[in-house]
Amino acid sequence: MPNTKKSMTNNPVHYPEVNPNPHFPTLEEKIIEKWKEEDTFKKSVKGDKDFIFYDGPPFANGLPHYGHLLTGFIKDIFARYQTTRGKKVERRFGWDCHGLPAEMGAEKELGISGRIAIEEYGIDKFNDYCRKSVLKYTKEWEAYVTRQARWVDFENDYKTMDINFMESVLWAFKALYDKGLLYESQRVLPYSWACETPVSDFETRMDNSYREKSSKAITVTLKLKSVPRKLSGKSCKLVIWTTTPWTLPSNLAAAVGEDIDYSCVEKAGEHYIIASTLLHKYEKELGNNVVLEIKGKELVGLQYEPLFKYFANHENAFRVLAGSFVTTEDGTGIVHIAPGFGEDDQILCEQNNIKVVCPVDNGGKFTHPVEDFLGLQVFDANDQVIKALKEQGNWIKTEQYLHNYPHCWRTDTPLIYKAVPSWYLKVTAIRDKMVKNNRQINWIPGHIKDGLFGKWIENARDWSISRNRFWGCPIPVWQSDDPKYPNIEVYGSIKELEEAFGVEVKDLHRPFIDTLTRPNPKDPTGKSLMRRVSDVLDCWFESGSMPFAQVHYPFENKQWFEDNFPADFIVEYLAQTRGWFYTLTVLSTALFDRPAFLNCICHGVILGDGGQKLSKRLKNYVDPNEVFDTLGSDAMRWYMVSSTVMRGQEVVIDKDARGMKESLRAAIKPLWNAYNFFTLYANADNLRATFDLSSQNLMDKYILSKCFKSIGLIQKAMDEYDTPSATKVVENLLEVVNNWYIRRSRERFWKSEHDQDKIDAYNTLFSVLNLICRAVSSLLPLITEEIYLGLNNNTGSVHLETFPDQAIYQADEDLISDMERVRDACTAALHIRSESGVRVRQPLAEVTFIGVAANVISEELSHLILDEINVKAWNSVDKSKINEYATYRLQIKFPVVGKRIPEKVKDIISANKKGDWKLENGKVIIGGEELREEEFELKLEPKAEFAGRITALSSNDALVLLDLNITEKLRLEGIARDIVRLIQQARKSANLEITERIKVSLVSDDENITQAIKMWDQYIKEQTLCVEISSDKFSEEQVYEEEAELEGIKVSLKLARYFS
């Protein structure tokens, strides 16, 4: 305790009176309000060079969740960090406005569904409703983002529905068209009948859109009109199998594998052809009387009778074709081909001049000529199709088939595959360039480059970019409405549109854009018109256009964009390797032949209790607002960015917010405790500290060296976008500051003299706190701001400071190493005390260090160790004597060894069992091989005669031996120390000022208490600011009393203020 005469309450206060246990959310809200009042964010946007990061726009027709908050924290952290490194970081917020999320929401709220209903309601009114509804929750979003202490520019935001943004998207479309990278085609695509629109192939790979689905798998026969020569004159049928019975009315062919073996089995005079390896699955239905074995190529070209009448006269149809995709993994080895509903089917039929038929409408319902199932939704038609096939005599069996099946990521309904006309971006033509550009990207985690993303783009397909919807950026293509006079026009700017159609263009949305028509210049009759194709662009095309469209490139900011592309940084969750990261890469490669970004964090997914998906229904996670209100956003931020979610793994946020509470304990409270200690005693001493790194005190030099080394490690981690490593360094540093530096330096703060040593202690701690706040400001923006302001007279902002410059202090690496050795030694000694049940306050006579080099532990360090472990004397034994006290146990990491020298593993195992190995200069030689450092561990195990008194350092190269014999004198000193602790606890309980002097009454029947007080009277008084200690009752009004026990001895304690 500081031995000052004056009460702190009478001193001028240089620093805030800090609450040791504050309500952090209240402090945070105060800081956020201060930032707003002082416009701190805007002041921070300055620098010599731009640092560009792309803020992926969310939809504002729903509220943010933990995934949004995590991404927001990461964006904010690196924007703040790069700002401290002297970069100018614009942070323009964006809103995703177009696409299915907006349309589906509008349909639900308006009580309408489907294209016909929307057209009847009015496209103009529907789109107006979408325009308003997409920004429904912008204020809520702004509140969440602000409360999480994320700095973004909401005033200068961009929206994908803004005319400038959309014009840039039109420019991109035309630029791609002019490059020959766009084409129109009817192809089979994943199709959402619930949304009445195709779905991009990559969308089916996002967000785990595959679900387990039970389908009715049906096996039926096709009656051959021509048969293999060896079966001439026989009635013969092909056996086919499908999990989509509804596609059978559109069957136009059957496919076999040319090199697959097929068997012809005879049953009741009928012959059935099936793949030989799959016959066993049908023995009950077909028997096993094999009359012929035949290769698939001998079946190719055979004709069969149509399964249904609807397309009976279709040209070139109802033949057996050779398909390279046919396997014998399941089914019958003969594949039913419906080119309107299967990608492989369509390609195969095109190769064989069979045109596509697709008798299913936009809503997934049967159309003409499938009269028997007209108007039925295809999945609802399955049972009726099966019934019809039974009645026709084609049916063999039906079974339930459980498989992973793609679902619409918006409606969670099963998709179908359907031939639809669409505009395509020819991704296959730029695939090699995308692979090349990917080599320039630094992916975090690193395996994404050649794994999840690399493999995806290596196999990328052409991208269907058109959607048969309403609320979106229009496809800027006009076509002649008379096929006799074909013509296509593509427009890439508002100016081009205005010049072509002679009207002012103020909106690019439907229905206005659809009203723009003009005579077809290639029609000599002058009758046909140029009309816009009705589709809009896939909203992912807009997302991929965001880098240039947000700045209205190339119509504005042309030079700025070209100078600042690609972006320095981008972040989203892993699935965006199939989404936004992918579309950005496609468009940046196609338009500029460059990557869209240079550094990319792919974070993992946040789960609720039990590792389940976050669910409002299950209530398996704590509400974010509850965390903000009880623990604070810094706690949430620290938990998230210090976790494995930053390595692309999953992390759990449970109902009790245990992880975020741990963040308070591991980082926020330790930082606050150090700040509280400093302000408490600096105010008591009426001392204003300065930023000063010149102290020559050993502990000061150590903590400054440790601090600057940690700053270097933090900088390295942050430069590598590695927040888990950065947070680990910070937690380690705060542990050292509190539990080593401050605790070992208390006497320097407590002493009464205002000498240079005391001033050095204050200046050093002030400097360290200042440096930590500046280095950690991006990771803990609110708490570091509160502390920074407290240290600096409530002026400025830590976020207007630069990252600490390591060059201003030369860290003493040897001192750091020596002190770590000291701390390790102390930890080992305290471990012995703990295991032996000897409390730390009980002094011991001697400690022996075995194997610690004498030149490592200086006299000053040895005194520090003795004081820390409460031992009177030090003894040192040379490393060569270790074998007298302990033996080495070798632990070999065989999986690691096996990768390097698999042929030697047996010999090494045998030698290890025999103990036949040796240690030479720190190297392990066993079985004739020298093991590498990462292939083994050596552990020192004490000999039995020293059990309970000796333990190894964590480095396993030295030992600590404690003399646990306690003399009477040592025992009494231990009791005196217990008395000090009891009085200090009582002072806290009585809420006494740290400078207040007291009188103490300590009554006990035990003679040991009396003797301890008599022997250590002066020590007890100095440590507790006690003027008088006695066993008598005093007349002054007591401020505290309690009945307590000291090592089993009952005592009665009373405190009273002392007035001189």
pLDDT, tens digit, for every residue of 480-491? Answer: 999 999 999 999
Q: pLDDT band for 229, please (50, 70, 90 cuts).
A: confident
Written out in words, the top-level CATH class of the domain with range 27-176+542-630 is alpha beta
| pLDDT score, position 7 | 39
Which amino acid, one-letter code, is at 695?
A: S
| pLDDT score, position 996 | 87
Place of tokens 């020559």: 696
- pLDDT tens per residue across span 294-306: 999 999 999 999 9
Given 25, 35, 55, 57, which residue is catalytic? Answer: 57
For residue 147, pLDDT over 70 is answered with yes
Place of tokens 């045109």: 355
* Residue 729, helix vs strand vs coil: helix
Structure tokens belonging to residue 396:
């063999």
Given 42, 267, 436, 616, which residue is catalytic? Answer: 616
Place of tokens 């993992």: 604
Place of tokens 């333990």: 951
| pLDDT score, position 1 | 47
For residue 2, pLDDT over 70 is answered with no
Q: Give mean pLDDT, residues 490-509.
A: 97
733: enclosing H helix or E strand: helix 723-736
| pLDDT score, position 796 | 95
- pLDDT tens per residue across span 807-832: 999 999 999 999 998 899 999 999 99
Q: Which of 174-183, 191-200, 333-342 has the lowest mean pLDDT?
A: 191-200
Q: How far is CA 337 from the centre of its chain?
A: 43
Which value, in Å, is the radius of gyration of the alpha carbons in the chain? Answer: 39
Could you tell me if 999 and 970 are in contact, meaning their C-beta atoms sit under 8 angstroms apart?
no
Which amino acid, one-letter code, is at 346?
A: Q
**Active-site residue flag, 613:** yes
Give CA–CA dist 811/733, Å, rounded: 14
Omega cis (within 30) before 22: no
Mean pLDDT rounded to a whole number for the chain: 91
Place of tokens 């956020």: 32
Given the DSSP bridges, would you call strands 599-603 and 570-573 parallel, antiparallel or unpaired?
Answer: parallel
Write down the domain spans for the chain: 8-18+664-804, 27-176+542-630, 210-406, 476-534, 820-962, 968-1057
Given 576, 715, 842, 1023, which residue is catalytic? Answer: 576
CB atoms within 10 A of CB 702: 25
Given the DSSP bridges, would you call strands 87-88 and 936-942 parallel, antiparallel or unpaired?
Answer: unpaired
Q: Give mean pLDDT, residues 228-232.
A: 84
Q: Which of 145-154, 195-204, 792-801 has the lowest mean pLDDT?
A: 195-204
Q: Which residue ranges make up the annotated binding site?
A: 616
Residue 402 CB-density burial (10 A; 0-12 exposed, 13-18 middle, 19+ buried): exposed
Given 55, 76, 96, 345, which residue is catalytic? Answer: 96
**Active-site residue flag, 96:** yes
| pLDDT score, position 11 | 56
Q: pLDDT band for 31, please (50, 70, 90 cuts).
A: very high
Q: pLDDT band for 3, please (50, 70, 90 cuts).
A: very low
Q: Which residue ranges make up the annotated binding site for ATP?
A: 616
**Active-site residue flag, 939:** no
- pLDDT tens per residue across span 929-938: 889 888 888 8
DSSP character at residue 741: I
Give CA–CA dist 321/292, Å, rounded: 20
Given 309, 455, 558, 613, which residue is catalytic? Answer: 613
Q: pLDDT band for 1034, please (50, 70, 90 cuts).
A: low
Q: Give mean pLDDT, residues 707-713.
A: 98
Q: pLDDT band for 4, please (50, 70, 90 cuts).
A: very low
**Active-site residue flag, 383:** no
For residue 746, pLDDT over 60 is answered with yes
Written out in words, the top-level CATH class of the domain with range 210-406 is alpha beta
**Active-site residue flag, 580:** yes
| pLDDT score, position 621 | 83
For residue 5, pLDDT over 70 is answered with no
Dump the DSSP string for 23-91.
-HHHHHHHHHHHHHHHTHHHHH---SEE--B--PPPBSSS---HHHHHHHHHHHHHHHHHHHTTEE---
- Angle among Cα 617, 621, 626 to the nearest 5 degrees reads 110
For residue 506, pLDDT over 70 is answered with yes
For residue 6, pLDDT over 80 is answered with no
- pLDDT tens per residue across span 94-121: 999 998 888 988 998 999 988 889 999 9
Q: Give mean pLDDT, residues 822-849.
A: 93
**Active-site residue flag, 193:** no
Give CA–CA dist 648/579, Å, rounded: 16
* Residue 119, helix vs strand vs coil: helix
**Active-site residue flag, 576:** yes
Could you tell me if 621 and 205 are in contact, meaning their C-beta atoms sit under 8 angstroms apart?
no
Count of H helices and E strands in the chain? 33, 41
Handedness of CA 129, 134, 136, 138 (dihedral sign): negative
Residue 888 CB-density burial (10 A; 0-12 exposed, 13-18 middle, 19+ buried): middle
Could you tell me if 92 and 55 are in contact, meaning their C-beta atoms sit under 8 angstroms apart?
yes
Question: Which among 257, 223, 232 has a CA at the least distance from the CA of 396?
Answer: 223
Omega cis (within 30) before 554: yes
Given the DSSP bridges, would you call strands 270-275 and 236-242 parallel, antiparallel or unpaired?
Answer: parallel
Give CA–CA dist 540/548, Å, rounded: 14
Q: Which of 220-224, 713-717, 1041-1045 has the lowest mean pLDDT?
A: 1041-1045
E strands, 288-381, in order:
290-295, 319-322, 334-337
Given 35, 241, 443, 540, which residue is catalytic? Answer: 540
- pLDDT tens per residue across span 413-423: 889 999 888 99
Q: pLDDT band for 779, please (50, 70, 90 cuts).
A: very high
Could you tell me if 497 and 465 are in contact, meaning their C-beta atoms sit under 8 angstroms apart?
no
Structure tokens belonging to residue 484:
């006799």
Which amino acid, one-letter code, is at 888?
A: Y
| Backbone phi and psi for residue 911, each to the nearest 5 degrees, phi listed first | -65, -35
Give CA–CA dist 381/187, Å, rounded: 24
Which amino acid, one-letter code, is at 210?
A: Y
Domain 8-18+664-804 has CATH 1.10.1020.10: no
Question: Which among 953, 75, 1003 has a CA at the least distance from the CA of 573?
Answer: 75
Could you tell me if 708 and 809 are in contact, meaning their C-beta atoms sit under 8 angstroms apart?
yes
Which amino acid, one-letter code, is at 779?
A: L
Q: pLDDT band for 430, please (50, 70, 90 cuts).
A: very high
Which amino acid, one-letter code, is at 1006?
A: D
Max Cα separation, the chain?
A: 128
CB atoms within 10 A of CB 830: 18
